[in-house]
Amino acid sequence: MSDDIDHEAEADRDSADQLFTEERRGSAQVNALVADMLLKLGMNENKGGWRSLDVIALSHELLVEMVELQRELYFGNYREAQLECADIANYAMMIHDNCRMMIEP
């Protein structure tokens, strides 16, 4: 069964690769988000890495960041909202990375 899931995941990645052309991969919107993600990662370098953190704990932090995003949007703080989006994307990346490490020892 696990092998079937691996093949399905591979097929999904192939479909995603076909969906996103080179033009979309390098879009200004994606680049802007990545720039903010790197900014926020740099601001938090003193906290150490995420690889030793449990995925459940990381998912909790992701939810906290989503609440913070809602707050910034509610008060019209759009630059802060952008930075919260970067935090959300970073936590999703961390979870994705730690799950990958569990799948690919």
- 57: which 2 tokens? 């704990």
Looking at the whole model, is its pTM more than 0.85?
no
Q: CA-CA distances (angstroms) from residue 92 to 18, 64, 65, 102? A: 23, 12, 11, 15
Positions of the chain with pLDDT lower than 50, given as ranges? 1
Separation of first and last alpha carbons in the chain: 19
Query: Domains of the chain: which residue ranges?
Result: 2-103
Coil, helix or strand at residue 88: helix
